[in-house]
C-alpha cells in the first residue's frame, strides 16, 4: 500500500463543492471515480480543506492510499486522462510516508479572493471573480483588515451551518492589494471557519466603498453575532491557494 500526495487545480463552477455528496457532482467524487477506473480500488481521498460550490483551487493538497503498484508520475498522468473533460487537473503526485496526512499534518491554509473592480461585464474572469462596479479603496480595505489579524472569536464571520467546535481562530495574514482593475485579498491561517474568508471579504468591500469604517469592522468582530455581519461575498472569487506542511 502506497500513500500518494496530490496537488490539485480545479474550477469549482460545475461542482457542488469539494466533498463527495449524493445530490450532485463533487471534485472529490470525480477524482475517486478516476482512481477506481485506473486501479479497481475504492480509493478514499483526504484533502487539506473543503471548498463550497463554486469555489476554486490553485493548489489543493490531498492524499490517497493505493495498493496497486504504480509510479507517481504514471498515476498523475492516468488520473488526468480519466478526469477529462472535468475542469480538474493533478499538478503533482508523490509518494509520502504512511503517517503523513493532508489534513492533520497541515500547519497553514492559504486563500486568495479576487474582486474585479470594473463596470464592464466580465468575460475571461466570469465565474472566477466577484465583480464590484463601484470604485473601491484597496488601501482602506487593507488597513481595516489588520483588525482581524490575530486570535479572535470569529462568530460574526462564521456560517450558521459551521460545524467547528470553537469560533476562535488565529488569522496569520489578511492583506489587500490592487493589481490594475483586480483587488486581491490574501488570507492565511492554520484553519478557517465555514464562510470565514467570504464573510471577511464582504465586510472589507463595504470599507472599500466607504460604507463601513475600520471601527465598524471592529464592532462587527466584537459583536460575536452573525447578525452583525455586513455582507457575505459570493463564492466566485475564492481560490484555495495552497497548504503548508512542516519541512
Please give the positions annotated as active site. Answer: 52
From CA 47, how far away is CA 60, in angstroms rounded? 7
From CA 89, how far away is CA 79, in angstroms rounded? 8
3-state secondary structure of 130: strand
Nearest to 54 by CA among 156, 175, 195, 171: 195
Nearest to 199 by CA among 11, 59, 60, 52: 52
From CA 78, how far away is CA 93, in angstroms rounded? 11
From CA 64, how far away is CA 101, in angstroms rounded? 9
DSSP-derived secondary structure letter, 122: P
174: cell is 489578511
DSSP-derived secondary structure letter, 121: P
- In angstroms and rounded to an integer, the radius of gyration of the C-alpha atoms of the chain is 19
Length in residues, the chain: 247
From CA 25, how far away is CA 15, in angstroms rounded? 5
Amino acid at each position: 500500500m502506497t500513500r500518494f500526495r496530490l496537488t490539485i487545480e480545479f474550477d469549482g463552477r460545475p461542482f457542488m463543492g469539494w466533498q463527495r455528496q449524493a445530490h450532485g457532482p463533487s471534485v472529490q467524487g470525480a477524482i475517486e471515480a478516476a482512481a477506481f477506473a485506473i486501479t479497481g480500488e475504492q480509493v478514499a481521498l483526504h484533502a487539506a480543506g473543503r471548498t463550497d460550490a463554486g469555489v476554486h483551487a490553485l493548489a489543493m493538497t490531498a492524499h490517497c492510499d493505493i495498493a496497486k503498484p504504480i509510479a507517481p508520475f504514471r498515476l498523475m498522468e492516468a488520473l488526468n486522462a480519466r478526469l477529462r473533460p472535468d475542469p480538474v487537473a493533478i499538478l503533482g503526485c508523490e509518494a509520502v510516508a504512511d503517517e503523513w496526512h493532508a489534513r492533520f499534518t497541515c500547519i497553514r491554509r492559504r486563500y486568495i479572493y479576487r474582486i474585479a473592480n470594473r463596470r464592464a461585464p466580465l468575460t475571461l474572469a466570469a465565474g472566477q471573480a466577484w465583480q464590484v462596479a463601484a470604485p473601491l479603496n484597496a488601501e482602506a480595505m487593507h488597513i481595516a483588515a489588520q483588525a482581524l489579524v490575530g486570535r479572535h472569536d470569529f462568530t460574526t464571520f462564521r456560517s450558521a451551518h459551521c460545524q467547528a467546535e470553537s469560533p476562535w481562530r488565529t488569522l496569520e495574514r489578511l492583506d489587500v492589494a490592487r493589481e490594475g482593475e483586480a483587488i486581491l485579498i490574501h488570507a492565511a491561517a492554520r484553519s478557517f471557519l465555514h464562510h470565514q474568508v467570504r464573510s471577511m471579504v464582504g465586510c472589507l468591500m463595504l470599507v472599500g466603498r466607504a460604507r463601513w469604517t475600520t471601527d465598524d469592522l471592529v464592532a462587527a468582530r466584537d459583536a460575536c453575532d452573525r447578525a452583525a455581519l455586513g455582507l457575505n461575498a459570493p463564492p466566485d472569487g475564492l481560490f484555495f491557494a495552497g497548504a503548508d506542511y512542516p519541512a
